Chains A and B, each alone.
Chain A
Amino acid sequence: MALLSVTNLSKKYDSNFAVKNVSFEFQPGKCIALIGPNGAGKTTILHILAGLLRPTSGNVKMSEINGNSDIRSFIGYLPQYPVFYTWMTGSEFLIYSGQLAHLSKKEAMARANELLERVGIADAGNKPIAKYSGGMKQRLGIAQAIIHNPKLLILDEPVSSLDPIGRREVLTLMEELKNEMTILFSTHILTDADEISDALLLLHQGEIVEAGSINILREKYQTATIELSFSHNTRFYQDKILQLSSVDNGYTEHDSIHVSASDISLAREEILKAAADEKWPITSFTLHRASLEDMFMKAVKK
């Protein structure tokens, strides 16, 4: 059963749709990336899921929830630019967050210590948040989001404002958290999505233009090509390759042959088989995969 299912979700401001008729669902234990350019409606969707915003129409269902319990109890949320009570210490803020999520004071304190350690700011736990750097605030933000062990962790652009080191640390942390909860995060940086997510939701102008697991999407949008070079007789082998039934097209550039096919795995198989049977003098064989960037552009243009 899906952990979360969203049906026909729309949010309208005046006469503009920030989010238009969005539906999707996902299984527990996955890491899903919500991808789209700035202004595509990512934050609006996350706000609705986090219970911060009421949709104009449509609904959100979480399988864990029975009847009238508060959806927010099962969700942890980190906004893009988290703001804290700067007069509190990091530890105080975590305890406060935990208590708001109905942990007892004792539980909240134990959990706060554990998380300060885990996100790597244990030394600063008793310092006022006013003195925290941006990276420390981001980590404190993640800690407050998971203080109550949510089923679903929602992160809005969790790494885009961080420097490369901070970015790496947060991605590693997310990788770990994937084992404990479902993660939904938004990003406009496609390589981040590619790195840690299992599935993608591509958002464009408030609408989902494509959704699915990374591998399936890759296959669907593959613009993959095979690039080959031969020690001699390149022209001869190009003609041979073009005769293969799975190959659609091919041309030679800088002494290497570029092959495209609608089913690239079949083409690969045929080429390699012929090469083995006929002892082709291949010097290199490369399969170029589609980047997420290419996929996104293609999906948007559709």
Chain B
Amino acid sequence: MINFEFLLGHYNYWAVIVLFLIGLYAMIVKKNLIKKFMGLNIMDTSIFLFYISMGDVEGGVSPIIAHGGGSEVIYVNPLPSVLILTAIVVAVSTTALALSLIIKIYEEYGTLDSERLVELMGW
């Protein structure tokens, strides 16, 4: 017995899973080094979405104590967003390093095709 309400109710997780798998697929299948890395970025983005959506509370407002705001206000959980801010910084620095390496690879080898590179390297 499949619980459709449960499955559809968590549509955000489905989006995350689909994005994660698209990213993983691109990393494994694509030959171009830049496309491989774009796959990784898609994968990272899916994880960011996962974090942010899990911190969301239905009907919640941004967690800033407004002037005169009572205690009955529901706030969204700010911690996952804070965590993901750090993770985004990590992803950006990885991306920057990877792209600079890719530039160097293209300068040295004249190609970005991973199969061609493996041939050139003799691995």
Q: Do A and B come from one complex?
A: no
- Chain A interface residues toward B at CB < 8 A: none
